[in-house]
Amino acid sequence: MTDLNGELLQIALDAAQRAGALLRDGRPRDLDVAATKSSPIDVVTEMDLAAEKLITGFIAELRPDDGLLGEEGASVEGSSGVRWIIDPLDGTVNYLYGLPCWAVSIAAQRDGQTVVGVVEAPMRRETYQAVLGGGARVNGEPARCRPAPAFEQALIGTGFGYLTERRAAQAEVVRALLPRVRDIRRGGSAAIDLCDVGCGRLDGYYERGLNPWDYAAGDLFAREAGALTGGRPADPASPELTVAAPPGLFEPLQGLLDELGAWHD
Ligand code: IPD
Ligand code: CA
Ligand code: CA
Ligand code: CA
Give me ligand 4 centre to Cα 259, in Å: 30
* Residue at a domain's end among 142, 173, 204: 142
Q: Does residue 160 contact residue 174 with C-beta atoms inside 8 Å? A: no
From the CA of 94, give the closest atom in ligand 1. Answer: 15
List the domain range (segments joined by +) for residue 229: 151-259
d(Cα 16, Cα 119) in Å, to the nearest integer? 7
Give me ligand 3 centre to Cα 142, in Å: 25
Same domain, 214 and 255: yes
- The answer to pTM > 0.95 is yes
Residue 265 lies in a domain: no
Q: What would the pLDDT profile of 11-66 be if each residue is shown by its tens digit? A: 999 999 999 999 999 999 888 888 888 888 888 999 999 999 999 999 999 999 99
Residue 264 lies in a domain: no
Q: What would the pLDDT profile of 82-131 be if each residue is shown by its tens digit? A: 999 999 999 999 999 999 999 999 999 999 999 999 999 999 999 999 99
Same domain, 175 and 81: no
| Sign of the CA dihedral with 53 first, then 59, 65, and 66 last | negative
61: part of which helix (H) or strand (E)? helix 46-62
Q: What would the pLDDT profile of 167-213 be if each residue is shown by its tens digit? A: 999 999 999 999 999 999 999 999 999 999 999 999 999 999 999 99
Q: What is the pLDDT of residue 163?
A: 87
What percent of the chain is predicted at pLDDT more than 70? Answer: 97
Q: What is the pLDDT of residue 238?
A: 66
> Is the CB–ligand 1 distance for residue 242 below 6 Å?
no
User: Does the pLDDT value for residue 265 go beyond 90?
Assistant: no
Q: Which residue type sits at 67?
A: G
Same domain, 248 and 186: yes
Residue 5's CB is within 10 A of a number of other CB atoms, namely 17
> Is the CB–ligand 1 distance for residue 246 below 6 Å?
no
Question: Any idea what the CATH number is for the domain that residue 166 is in?
Answer: 3.40.190.80
How many domains in the chain? 2
d(Cα 88, Cα 16) in Å, to the nearest integer? 8
Residue 31's CB is within 10 A of a number of other CB atoms, namely 15
Confidence of residue 237 (pLDDT cuts 50, 70, 90): low
> Is the CB–ligand 1 distance for residue 203 below 6 Å?
no
Give me ligand 4 centre to Cα 35, in Å: 13
Give me ligand 2 centre to Cα 36, in Å: 9
